[in-house]
Amino acid sequence: MKRIPAPALLAWFQEQRRDLPWRKRRTPWRVWVSETMLQQTTVAVVAERFEKFMRLFPTPAALAAATESEATLAWAGLGYYRRVRNLRAGALALGKRPVPRAEDDLLGLPGIGPYTAAAIRAFAFDEPAAVIDANVGRVLQRFMGEEGAWNTAPVLKKARAVLRASSPPRGRDFSEGLMELGALVCTPKDPACPACPLRPDCAAHATQRVAETTTRKRRAPVRQIEAVRLRIQRAGKTLFVQRPLDADLLPGQWELPGAWCARDTVIDAALVARLLRPLGFRLAGEFKRSAVARHSVTTHQLRCTLLDTPVRGRMCRARWLRKDELPGTLTTETRKLLLAGGSS
DNA sequence: GAGACGTGGGC
DNA sequence: TGCCCAAGTCT
């Protein structure tokens, strides 16, 4: 079994370790929150928001006591809101018990998968755990000379075996060092092999195939969408509606009423009337196209149009609000459109 | 196992 | 500007 040279890795890590906010105090809750935030999200974006979230919710109990809307608001800018819903659900499930240390107990909490369970065990409890994220996966893939994707079952199995054979009994710095190595040195593009403490033992380096072992996953096809949003105002207030709490996409967020349509949809009075009907309104004059914006949300590429829409009738299932009294998170689509459309 | 799930920042 | 990515999890 090939082994990672732990002393060389640890020496490198001691020199190169970045000072990141979540590395200041390693409580299980801080590790859980930060690892959740860092899923598919850049270090720079998380670094700006982590401490603020921790001030609002310093303990699992604090998050459990908050509403889902408050929790989502604190998550704004991070995306993948399912993560904060899961975090809160996990805190609720915990009750008064401490964050668990055993892998099976961690895996039982919502939003905690193999990576996050291992990260909590290693970073919070200093256990030897197979902390394999995309960084570590890439390091090990190259180290072992595997050219398939790191996250396929057979490569992962070998990776776990290498880690088991290599990790010291106290696994925190070893695991974190390997991750840091993937982030700073063994990068997907242009890896800095001369700076790598694993170079003497690296299979990909030996065969000069480091560049070839970069796996990239293909992106889901982008769907082109026409987004139509109505700005309906009365007495200085604007009408907002809330997305369903069980929606797959952006659950519970607030937005201007409207719809996503096929890209070739014609925006005319008939369409606007159709959008108004479920709100209990009828069109009461000419609508005006007052802004356009572009926005992408996961696999949807939106061309957004803001329509200032005069109405009559009675509304339902919606709220009149001034800008400064929004009840929660606005969708970015609506936020961009209102920014582009100014106040009118 | 593929597809869905967001956003801000880099180039 | 437009396209790409970034410490996964769930279905």
Walk along chain A (344 residues) and give the pLDDT tens digit of each residue: 899 999 999 999 999 999 999 999 999 999 999 999 999 999 999 999 999 999 999 999 999 999 999 999 999 999 999 999 999 999 999 999 999 999 999 999 999 999 999 999 999 999 999 999 999 999 999 999 998 889 999 999 999 999 999 999 999 999 999 999 999 999 998 899 999 999 999 999 999 888 777 766 667 778 999 999 999 998 888 999 999 988 999 999 999 999 999 998 999 999 999 999 999 899 999 999 999 999 999 999 999 999 999 999 876 667 888 877 877 889 999 999 999 988 75
**C1' nearest to CA of A41: which nucleotide?**
C6
A81 touches strand B (CB under 7 A): yes
**Between the CA of A186 and the C1' of B11, what is the distance in angstroms?**
20
How far apart, in whole angstroms, are the C-alpha atoms of residue A26 and residue A119? 11
Known catalytic residue: A333? Answer: no
What chain A holds in terms of domains, given with CATH numbers, is: 6-213 (1.10.340.30), 223-341 (3.90.79.10)
Distance A97 CA to C9 C1' (A): 24
The answer to whether A214 CB is within 7 Å of strand C is no
Q: Write the pLDDT tens digit of every residue in A264-273.
A: 899 999 999 9
Residue A42 CB closer than 7 angstroms to strand B? yes
Is the Cβ–Cβ distance between A227 and A263 less than 8 Å? no
